[in-house]
Chain A
């Protein structure tokens, strides 16, 4: 079977929360080659933001570390891997529960994994206490008639950010 499209990128950045926006915008720009809908872009950006926040806030707990992000495109599917070498998750099943948080005093909602799971097709978590956490998630970009809408809007490099920022409104 031949692959219609294969591509990959990697970035590494310090565990500073300023970089959350950088990470999700980098992924959004990279996957633009698949002509995703505005909604698909927004879903993926939100999931990336949640995973990166988890690494920064929970993995490294404010200490400086490196967050690694790998994004792959295989045919019309996007695979995103976000990993840290922070403290790891004690119990993954418990951490995935909606509203579970170890930091409720800091106004954390405990919705990170729930959002990742509902916005992506698949989310896998690997974690070893003291060694770090890796989140692998994937989403298929649909190639159907809804694509026509995005094609009309011509997501070029210059206006892609504006389109992404305009949210689903752009589909009018």
Chain B
């Protein structure tokens, strides 16, 4: 055994890593854009399904604007991958603020990433524009609440929207499948809380880990509970696919609804006939039936060679537009993280690529209400917007 060679490899790797780490601040010091906007998004890992469209939209909007805000202020984007990992999200936010000197951060992409990065943003006094619906992100009990501005619909609003559509169909007994994480658990708890107010009852809940390759047992349990309709609180497309196949296999022939995680072009196009009739919540319908504001964004993406995927592009693009609107609100002034926070709290009805109006205030950091939401139905590999 040649341990020396092994050690020398390790030593070389350590030296390489150190040199790499040293190179980062040097590269940042060379940059000279007047206003720097950080984008910390999930470009790899499970949440890349949202992070990649967010990044694409931010890039095409920035290019279209010529890297100048609508008011003419030049800006620069500093992009980091949080790897769908809260620890990495916190580290990346620290880096873009301390090393790259950004005055606002769009991201991180996931609720857990935002919760991890929030205390850092608060300590370093730089606001986060958060593209996630996780309720805890907008909890006013968080010490970092003043520094987090949501650029998505909160989960309570989303789930109420879905349950209202269910209630229209005369369904009474609801079964819920949720993924085993904070997103899934919060969703099922909210569904149980909201359902009775709409004349519904959650009669059975089942869960599945990310790794599940077969959900026939879960589907069987919902079928045996005699549910009238099923709600999927999942964001992992493979789980949604697996459940739809399982439901078909075991004869669970009931209307199925899903939260916005499955409102993706790739999901609609790849699942097959099992997805026909699936209703999912979505922020707009960018890939298939965009309204005028969304179509503009869709065209920008297509012109850049991208295929619009879903609402990820909408929250990403509007996150950047919110940051730029806040910059323009401070024309002629020195811009800091603190001044960005104050400016964001005064934003309302700025130009956006969405069907709803986005308004922040000192008491409201959620921004969007339910007016931007829609229910889409998957049919023939397309998402059709329902009235």
A binds B: no
